[in-house]
Every structure is written in C-alpha cells, then in structure tokens.
A and B are shown apart, each in its own frame.
Chain A
Amino acid sequence: MDWTALGLSLRLGVVTVVLLLPVAFVLARWLAFSRFRGRGFVEALVALPLILPPTVVGFYLLVAFGRGSPVGAAFESLVGHPLVFSFEGLVLASLLVNLPFAVQPMQNALAAIPPSVRDAARCCGLSPMAAVRRIELPLALPGIATAAVLTFAHTLGEFGVVLMVGGSIPGETRTVAIAIYDRVQAFDEPAAATMALVLLVLAVAALGITNTLARRAARRD
C-alpha cells in the first residue's frame, strides 16, 4: 500500500473541490438563470471533458502549459519549476476535467428553484447577494454536496490525464490510480489489489452519498 500516493490523491481531491466549487457555482448560476444566445454552446463546452478522451485533454495541456508555451514559461519563471510534472499542473488538469462534475449538479439544483421563490425574495427586498446566501445556497445544498462528492471521487480516479502530464513522481504526481498501474508493472499484485480495493470502497461510498442526497432532494419537492 502506497500511503504517499493515497495522501497525494486525497490532497488533490480536496484542493480541486475547494478551488473548483466556488467558480463552478457562479458558472452554474449563470447557466441556470440567464437566457442568452450561445447558452447551449457554453453548456456543451462545460460537458466536453465528459466525452473527450483523457489523452486528448492531456495532450492539449502539454501543448498549452508545457515549457515551450507562454503560460508554461511564465509559470516557470515565477515559481521556479515547470507547470507540467508538478502537483500544481495536476491541480490545473483536475480543475478542467472536473468542470462538468461540479457544474451540472449545481445547475440542475438551481434551475429547480421555482421562479416564484426567487421573485418573492426580490420583492421582500433581499439584495442579490443576500438572496444567494439565504435562498439559493440552502435550496441548492443537495446539488452542491453532490458536486463536491462527485468531483472528489472523480479526482481520485483520474488516470489518463495524470499519466500524460504527471510523470508518476512519488509525492508529487504519483496518485493512487497511477500507483496501481506502476505496481502491476512491477509484478506487485498484492499492493495493486489493496489500492484497487481502497478506490473501490471510496467510489461506492461516493455513489452512496450522492444517491442519498438525490433522494432527500426529491422527497423535499
């Protein structure tokens, strides 16, 4: 059992959730409440990581954030090490591929709030920020929690992108999913089996939590 890899995966999951959820909430709110031309296009863009092969995402990340790119060069001169093959690079990749997992549950939850409720909030003199805090956030809570759990669980399982931009560096980019791959190649099947079981249990737990949240949300309606 590679504890360093498990610790790294958990850290990556938490960092992704903490950074992604606020941004995704703003995006979800915009998509849920605004009517504008090109909304379908934005929604498709958000959903893209769901169907795009991880190797495609990884390839574009290497091109866009590698040493030769302006972003990669700027990051390297600022931080002192390249963005790819680093934990920060994994975080960036993770934020991108998890976008649909974070946005879609929150967008659905927000869209399910009856317009009359939001109108009432405005009529009662709640400022837009107060309406978000006191009406939208509580009502969308199951969706937010689902987004957090799905993003966290999906980050633990991400493999293709991490393989392309990570480089399996212990304590830096070797996540549990990569460690399993490495252990199989090293003929260390017992270690691979233990780690696979840990990921299986976490995935089942994540689905259990999201299903419970969805049921509760449905019962409330």
Chain B
Amino acid sequence: MNRRRGLLDRVRVVGALLVSAIVLAPLAATATKPEAASSPAPLVAAASDLQFALDEIVAAFERDTGIAVRVTYGSSGNFARQIAQGAPFELFLSADEAYVATLVDRGLTRDRGELYAIGRIVIFAPHGSPLQPDARLEGFAARIASGRAGRLAIANPEHAPYGRAAEQALRALGLWEAVRPHLLFGENVAQAAQFASSGNADGGIIAHSLALAPTLRSRGTFALLPESLHAPLRQRMVLLERASPGAARLYEFLRSPAGRAILERHGFVLPEA
C-alpha cells in the first residue's frame, strides 16, 4: 500500500510540474517581450545573408520606434514556398527578386515591392585552411589539380539565391564540373558560411555581408569575387497581404538613409534611391 502511495505521489509531482509548465510557459513568453501582449510584433522573413545587417537595422528601428520585430532567417526560395502555403509573414526580404515576383503574380503582396540591395559573393577560407582565397578561385583550382582539395561550402542552388550565384561563378570560371565532387551544401547561405568557417571545410563561397561580420572576420580571410561572374543578386523586399502598420514602418525604415547606411556598411551595393 505504501509503495502504491509513493508512486501516486510521484505521479502527482510530475503532474504538478506539467501544470506549472502550462502556467509558466505563456508567462515566460510574454515576460521577455512586453509588446507581444498587446499587439503581436511584426513578423519578418529575411534571406539569411541579412543575418547581421538586419539584426542591426532592427535594433535601430526598435530604438527609434519602440516597435519590437520578430525575424526569421532562411533561404528565399523556402520562404516564398512557405508564404504561398500561408505562412503568416508580413514583410519578406528576399535575396532574389524572382521569388518576390512569383508572390506578386499570385496576388499575395501589397504591391511589387522595392529593390533594397544588391548582393556580392566572396570566397572565404578559415584560419588554418590550406586554401588562400583569391578572386578567380585559382587557389582552389590548384588544390583540385593536386588531388588534395577538401570541401567547399555553398548554399543550395536549388532554393538559395547565393547558392545559385556561387554555381554561376564556378561555371563562369570553368570549374563547376571539377568542383562538384567537393561541394558541401548549406540549407541557406548562413549555414554555408557556418560550414565554411567551422574548420571542417577548406572554405566556401558565401555572402559578402556575412564575411564582413565580426564573428566571421575573426575566423578567416576572404576575397570578393567579380560581379561579372554571376547574375546580379538583386534583392527585393515586399509587404505581404497581412502586413501590419508596424511592418510598413520597418519597410520605410529600410528605405531611409539610416537603414541604407547600415546595409552599405554590411557590404551591400545600394540601388539608386
């Protein structure tokens, strides 16, 4: 009988823990984001090359306006698919205007959006890598020729614009077929950068905006690849159907001199205002 009681007590303890989790979870969620209680913070889907630049822009925006913003980073192609399937994003910052165009065609956006930046790609090699980054990838070509080449990380060209630009550059240099067995694919360009800098690969072809970030700069060196090697990464943003006034204000902030200055500092080429 005692043993029975002990078991019941134990079950009661587990139950009490579960119940307190129900009560505490929403509390914990709201305690960290005071604004979340009144009106939900605008939800932004951003190409992962914006990881560092947009964090800074959002911090400045929240300081100026007091509007908290929720950002999810990922590959533009994946976001376009999710938005078409009904994901509740309010503002979409794509790394490629073609994905915005498909959403415009489906009537899921406020308008045609606006070009906010032009992206560049670099070859990045972590400290300790045998690869010396150069603008024409001669170093990596030589390593392939010697049979000692390790892995080269790029974003998945099928749904990540930076991956497609990397593929185009490798093709333009006549290296695609030779490099292919050495490629390592990230789900998006931030993951490719993480692979490239981890020390487990020779390096990678990643976004200039990521290579310039302090965390990556401290981990390795890079060389900018000529723009002529790939179709321009024309990055377009667009307000989606369900955009709140807060999302529209962030859109305006991105177009403002303050927003543009931050983008430029992170290695983006700015389109004509």
Within 8 A of B (CB), among A174-212: 174, 182, 184-187, 209, 212
- One of A26-34, A109-117, A118-126, A145-153 at the interface: A145-153
For the residues of B in contact with A, the DSSP-based class is helix
Residues of A within 8 A of B7 (CB): 141-142, 145, 213, 216
- One of B8-16, B140-148, B230-238 at the interface: B8-16
Scan A8-22; emit 1 where CB is below 8 A from any B CB, else 0. 101101100100000
Residues of B within 8 A of A62 (CB): 85
* Closest A residue to B194 using CB positions: A185
Interface size on A, residues (CB 8 A): 45
Identify A67's interface contact among B21, B73, B85, CB under 8 A.
B85
Known A145-B14, A174-B72: A4·B82 in contact at CB below 8 Å: no
* Closest A residue to B210 using CB positions: A187
For the residues of A in contact with B, the DSSP-based class is helix
Asked if B88 is at the interface of the complex by the 8 Å CB criterion, the answer is yes
Residues of B within 8 A of A170 (CB): 41, 43, 70-72
Distance of A192 Cα from B33 Cα, bound (Å): 20
Known A62-B85, A66-B85, A184-B194: A4·B32 in contact at CB below 8 Å: yes
Q: Are B190 and A186 in contact (CB under 8 A)?
A: yes
Known A11-B25, A168-B72: A209·B14 in contact at CB below 8 Å: yes
Question: B residues within 8 Å of A by Cβ?
Answer: 3-4, 6-8, 10-11, 14, 18-19, 21-22, 24-29, 31-33, 36, 40-41, 43, 48, 51, 70-74, 82, 84-88, 188, 190-191, 193-194, 197, 213, 215-216
Could you write out 18 A-B pairs with CB less than 8 Å apart? A7-B25, A8-B29, A11-B25, A13-B21, A66-B85, A84-B85, A85-B88, A145-B7, A152-B18, A168-B72, A168-B74, A169-B72, A185-B51, A186-B190, A187-B197, A209-B14, A216-B3, A220-B3
